[in-house]
């Protein structure tokens, strides 16, 4: 008779891209890390930090950049987001984690449903304050809550729920 293999809580990383973005790590339902986007001296994503943050994860969930209309004056910002997306994808693959890219409206409609606020940023801060009250949304010397960190926590929360659904489905069909 074989012993059942204990199921450890899934570890997921949530990434909100951008210079005001953030990174969050959930182990099961516990928030173990939430911080601003790790940037190097030039303002790009610090590759070594990204790989290190992905090492513990089974899944890295990254918010997809929203494409912009050509000539709208924000092409360079979109290029920077695409570059950051590439860094995080590569970091996850190097660390042996699966990658899930999620459009903003997908995780927002799933996670923020029923939370008050006019903007999605305000709603994500309200969600994190209620569900993960230990999260530090005032990292460093900032005066107002860091919505990039809050979004990263929400993205990690979405990824954890997504992973639980995937596991339940696989258990049900027997794979």
Domains and their CATH numbers in the chain: 11-173 (3.30.420.10)
Q: Closest Cα partner for 59 from 93, 17, 19, 20?
A: 93
Tally of CB atoms within 10 A around 114? 7
What does the DSSP 8-state code read for residue 22? Answer: E
Which residues of the chain carry a pLDDT beneath 50?
1-7
Tokens of 71: 């000539």
pLDDT at 28: 92
Per the DSSP assignment, residues forming a β-bridge with 33 are 25
């Amino acid at each position: 008779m074989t012993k059942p293999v204990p199921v450890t809580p899934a570890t997921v990383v949530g990434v909100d891209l951008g210079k005001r973005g953030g990174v969050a790590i959930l182990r099961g339902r516990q928030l173990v890390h939430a911080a601003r986007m790790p940037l190097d001296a030039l303002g790009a994503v610090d590759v070594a930090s990204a790989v290190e943050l992905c090492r513990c994860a089974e899944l890295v969930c990254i918010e997809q950049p929203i494409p912009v209309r050509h000539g709208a004056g924000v092409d360079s910002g979109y290029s920077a987001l695409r570059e950051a997306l590439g860094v995080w994808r590569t970091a996850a693959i190097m660390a042996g984690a699966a990658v899930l890219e999620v459009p903003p409206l997908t995780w927002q409609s799933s996670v923020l449903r029923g939370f008050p606020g006019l903007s999605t940023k305000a709603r994500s801060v309200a969600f994190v304050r209620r569900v993960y009250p230990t999260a530090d949304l005032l990292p460093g010397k900032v005066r107002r809550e860091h919505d990039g960190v809050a979004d990263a926590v929400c993205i990690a929360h979405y990824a954890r729920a997504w992973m639980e659904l995937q596991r339940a489905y696989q258990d049900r069909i027997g794979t």
